[in-house]
Each structure stands twice: as structure tokens, then as C-alpha cells.
Amino acid sequence: MDATLDRPPSPPPTLQRLRATLFSDLPSSLVSSALLLVLGWAAWRLVRWGVLDAVVQPDPEACRAAAGACWGVVSEKARLVLLGRFPQGEQWRPVLGSAALLIGVCGAAHPRLFGRAGVALLAGALLLFGVLMAGGVAGLAPVGSDLWGGLPLTLLLAVTGCLLGVPLGIALALGRRSTLPLLRWLCGAYIEAVRGVPLITLLFFGAFVLPLLLPPAWRLDPMLRIAACLTLFGAAYLAEIFRGGLQAVPRGQLEAAHALGLTRWQRLRHIVLPQALRVTIAPTASHFIGAVKDTSLVAIVNVYDLTGTLRLAMGDPQWQPFFVEMYTMVGAVYLLIGVSIAQYGRYLGRRHAVR
């Protein structure tokens, strides 16, 4: 038998598929042509505004006289937006700390380092980040957390919220499926209560109400309270994601593991969780993207992350008319982070796809 008969047909060329999709008949051709003309006109206006008529030098007068974008405001305010109010002579520390944190995240995300090695690498990166930012050791000048801000703070809040939210979410998901009624009720009540209120409510509680309820000796640093609120909020949503993954594990897998004599912990570690986490890769990646964007809400409680420092930069009257360019820069940073997480989620989905 000819082996070529078993091969699937090759997909048609891209141009042929586009022609068949967009110009299959007269109405489709008219609509597609109109949309392409509108998109072409919008692209030309965007290029003209952002490139051809743009001003690059940081000169407010030249920017006001120009018809295009003023990218000079980006070069003028980029340091404040990206690094916040960190002392001028010490700004190498948040740069180095952010680089170490990103290297730790990328290293821990490699499949060969999944498990204890990745957790240790990420914990070391967080420790180095904290030492560089806080100072007070190794000859580094101490810097209070009230001066932290910009991109390093956004990365810190996002990484800690996701890193601590995953095990807490797994524990809540297991607790909600527990056979113990009290544990099941407590986990379910916590999940529904947290998911039933907006994140800003928890942030206000952690920033302003919690210090009034605790004695002075127990009051944590505001940055720790905000990070805890983001973690607890994210864990409630992750718990429902993981609960769906646990429900997707066939019951026959548990019965087979029980027949092999595996203990409950061994069944959970080697049989249940690997399959549950595999089917929740896509929604977990989507949650992580949302968690990064949720860090922008901390600016409302006077914690100056990337969007908070943007508001500080826009307080300069001579640069206020060019807020679109600044928001474009900050949006590009969030877009880069979101696309990176999405691409990594697709990579894990292909690598661990059920075949």
C-alpha cells in the first residue's frame, strides 16, 4: 500500500486561504475591501502621528508645535515611571534586583527546573531582590518600602501573588472537595466571600482598616499587607480553576492507584495533581495575566507601582498634554508581560498536551 495515502493532506497556501475566506463571493469581497481600506487608513494615520510627525527631543515647546507624537516625554519621564521615587544615586539597585527576579522567574519556568530546584531559584531571586531594594546590609543604604515603585514593584507584587497563590489555591481546592464537612464549608465560604467582592475592597481593608484592628506590634509593613491581599484574592480564583482540574481526573485513575496500594498523599502527588494541573494550564496562564494587570489597582491605596508612578510623572504641568505617549509606554510594558505569559502558556500546553 502506498505510504502517501496515509499522510494527511497538506494545508493550502496562506494566500489561497485568505482569498477563500475574505473574497469568497461578492458581498464578502465588498465588506473585506471596505475593512481593509479602513485599516490601511488607520495604519497610515498612526504611522504619520507616531513616526513621521513625531518629536523625539525632550522639549515641551517643540512638542506643542508638532502635529505628531511627543516621544520626548518618554525619555524625560521614563526613569521616574520605571523606577519610581527610589533615591537617585541608588537606582542601580532596583534595576539589578528586577533583572535578578526576571532571571529567577525564567529559570524556574524551564521544565527541567520544575519542582524544588525552580522554587529554590525563585526564592533566592526574591531574597536578592529584597536585599537590594531594602538595603541595610552589605554596605547598602536602607531604603523604606514607601520609596519603592515603578516596574520593580509591579514585578514583585505579581511574582509573589502568583507564586504564593498557586499552593494556597491548590490547598483551597482540595479543602473544598474534602470529605470533612467543616473543612469543606470553611474553604467554600472563603472562596465565595473573596470572589464576591472587588479587589479594591480587599486592598482598602489591608491598607487602612487592618492596621486599626491590630495592635501596633503586629502591624506589618504596608507593602506586605498589599502583597498578602493580592495573594489571597488570586488564590480564591485559582482554587476554582484547580477544582475544575481535579474534577477532570477520571475516577478510574484513583481506583487504579488505590488498587496499587498507594497512600492518599502518593495518589494526590503522583496521580491526581499532575493530571489536574495539566488540564488547567490555559486558565492558569490567563489568571496570571490578569494578576499582573490587577497590580495597577494598588495605586489607589497610595502604593506607586507602574501606573502609580505614571500618575506622579503626569503631575508635571508642562508634560501633562502628552499623557497619551506615556500611557502608550506603560501599556507596551504590560503588553510585553502579558504576551510573554500567554506564549509560555501555549508552550506548556503543547508540551504537556494529552495524546
Asked if 203 and 229 touch (Cβ cutoff 8 Å), the reply is: yes
Question: What's the total number of domains in the chain?
Answer: 1
State how far the Cα of 296 lies from the Cα of 305, in Å rounded to an integer: 7
Asked if 313 and 80 touch (Cβ cutoff 8 Å), the reply is: yes
State how far the Cα of 126 lies from the Cα of 249, in Å rounded to an integer: 34
Question: Is 164 within a domain?
Answer: yes
Closest C-alpha among 309, 325, 311 to residue 80: 309
Q: Which residue has the cell 501599556?
A: 331
Looking at the chain, the whole-number percentage of residues with pLDDT higher than 90 is: 48
pLDDT digits (tens, 9 = 90+) for 112-134: 888 888 889 999 999 999 999 99
Look at residue 214 and give its three-state secondary structure: coil
Q: Residue 107 pLDDT more than 60?
A: yes
Question: Is 14 within a domain?
Answer: no
Question: Is 82 within a domain?
Answer: no
State how far the Cα of 130 lies from the Cα of 148, in Å rounded to an integer: 11
Question: Is 253 within a domain?
Answer: yes
Give the model's pLDDT for residue 151.
93
pLDDT digits (tens, 9 = 90+) for 168-222: 999 999 999 888 899 999 999 999 999 999 999 999 998 888 888 888 777 788 8
Q: The domain spanning residue 223 has which CATH number?
A: 1.10.3720.10
Burial of 169 (0-12, 13-18, 19+ CB in 10 A): buried
pLDDT digits (tens, 9 = 90+) for 22-39: 777 888 888 888 999 999
The model's pTM is 0.86
C-alpha distances in angstroms, 184 versus 166, 167, 173, 208, 247?
Answer: 19, 17, 9, 31, 15
Q: Residue 8 pLDDT more than 60?
A: no
Asked if 170 and 235 touch (Cβ cutoff 8 Å), the reply is: no
User: How long a stretch of residues is the chain?
Assistant: 355
Query: How far apart are the two ends of the chain, measured CA to CA in Å?
Result: 27
Question: Is 52 within a domain?
Answer: no
Structural domain of 258: 144-351
- Provide the mean pLDDT of the chain: 88
Transcribe 20-85 into DSSP letters.
Answer: HHHSSSHHHHHHHHHHHHHHHHHHHHHHIIIIIT-B-SS-HHHHHH-SS-BTHHHHHHHHHHHHTT
Q: What is the dihedral of CA 202, 203, 205, 206, to 10 degrees?
A: 110
Q: What is the mean pLDDT of residues 73-86?
A: 90
State how far the Cα of 67 lies from the Cα of 53, in Å rounded to an integer: 6
Per-residue pLDDT band at 258 (split at 50, 70, 90) = confident
Q: Which residue has the cell 505628531?
A: 68
Closest C-alpha among 119, 153, 104 to residue 133: 153
State how far the Cα of 336 lies from the Cα of 192, in Å rounded to an integer: 32
Asked if 236 and 175 touch (Cβ cutoff 8 Å), the reply is: no
Q: What is the mean pLDDT of residues 79-100?
A: 92
Looking at the chain, the whole-number percentage of residues with pLDDT higher than 70 is: 95
Question: Is 44 within a domain?
Answer: no
Question: Is 262 within a domain?
Answer: yes
Asked if 72 and 78 touch (Cβ cutoff 8 Å), the reply is: no
User: Cβ neighbours of residue 134 under 8 Å, at least 6 residues apart?
Assistant: 142, 143, 145
Question: Is 174 within a domain?
Answer: yes
Q: Which residue has the higher pLDDT, 218 or 333?
A: 333
pLDDT digits (tens, 9 = 90+) for 140-177: 999 988 899 899 999 999 999 999 999 999 999 999 98
Neighbours of 279 (CB within 10 A): 20
| Selection from 257-261, 263-267, 320-324 with the highest mean pLDDT | 320-324
Give the model's pLDDT for residue 1.
46
State how far the Cα of 227 lies from the Cα of 220, in Å rounded to an integer: 11
